[in-house]
Structure 1
């Protein structure tokens, strides 16, 4: 799509060198916008955006969102925060600061610029849910003192800040609650179940399943998720969210492991380990609101998205 100078937006993507952020940068550039990618590269990686540096509409800035940012943009996508337990538990204090101070700084920037700002929240705000599937009206079952709290409560506080800015000064906000997302550019050592299983299978290592493998997750391919984020940002000011974005098709962890083994043609064995503290037993989004407000439905099934993800990791591991 070719945009004129008048229709082109300058868009900030924090966390833009990460898994989700880099795909979002791709899509926004393909739409003809200018993109300012901001990342401190704690979990993001330059290889995710290397292919974009020759694009004159793309700019990268190394910056930590816990510090203010003095720039001029038309829209803000705030994706900055470690999103896997391995990474967000590495420095839990910094994780909370990234969610809370990052939200404060991006909201302050949006207030000054009078522009839309989207918060990438998470299904983790529901904790270990007592309601299934999870709707946006559910307040959650979160342990505020556990090892996952830095992320869960940090994201919950960020949502609070977004809605208080909206109520207090009328700031135009969008809040997306993102459920398990997978695809190319996932970090090979992020500890998330899809990347874990694929890397282990390709390496011929045993597939490690925590618990009995009967806990469930719903897996959304990254292209579908990015489409949902952009559709949410493009809604009018009456739509604030929170809106669940995820694939409502539910799989047990054991089913995922068996699918990965089949697609990689691996003979690796399944091994079972203790379930981590506060690990949710069930996770599936109710996406009725996204269907109604965004006309959004995920299109890519797990059997179609997994081969793309496996192909990415096969190439990556060969290069490492």
Structure 2
């Protein structure tokens, strides 16, 4: 077997389809399509120096890596590499080749600390530790059966609260951006973020091919966006909430739960059969909300960190 590591060619359909196939097999609880990968590669913020890589063996993509700098953090020098290998091609050097190429690239771009998400399995953790990474925080993937499971009944919003789909903000998404920015800044993380770039948010969130404004729900209190649940779909039967949150002034009133329940009911009515989401293991309130909906943990991943000399 001849194995090479090279850049993903987003304009080559076989490349992005191969990348998507590996990601779906290695991480089946995360929504990804060939079109979304091509979009990510061609619309990444220039300061992120985003560089997706593939490991190819005998003309087949068998491994993938998403590589870049955390450009929206006030702390410079932070990079990331998320490496996944086709389950039938592990142990053949694809993962190590991708890690070496990613680290060399990130070091040349000035990275001094690297972050990588690794599935919480003995072989995956051992792989990360052999390459000099240490375990940090953990997060869960959760799944909900929309087709056969029961959702909590829809409830009328309390006085002064209105639930609206994301499509109502199509003419001016900025209020939604400001709400998303505030809630994302409070998410548990190893990395501090500053979400202040509206144009970058439009590219990475609002215009993203997986984003579904039709299934996204925003809760308004006296006309002000106060909570939301942002939805993505893969164009088939799978649905995911990529962020659910509440502005600081409105927390503790159950608004995020109202918004997410509305989004889930509309997703099921649209024929979607599986719902996925993710939670930091330390985010107890959101884990409790998702368990209330009936989500079950289907996998756990660990964030690993390596300091570059």
For Structure 1 versus Structure 2, the TM-score category normalised by the shorter chain is: under 0.3
Higher normalized contact order (CA 8 Å, seq sep 6+, divided by chain length)? 2
TM-score, structure 2 length as denominator? 0.26
Higher helix share: 1
Higher strand share: 2
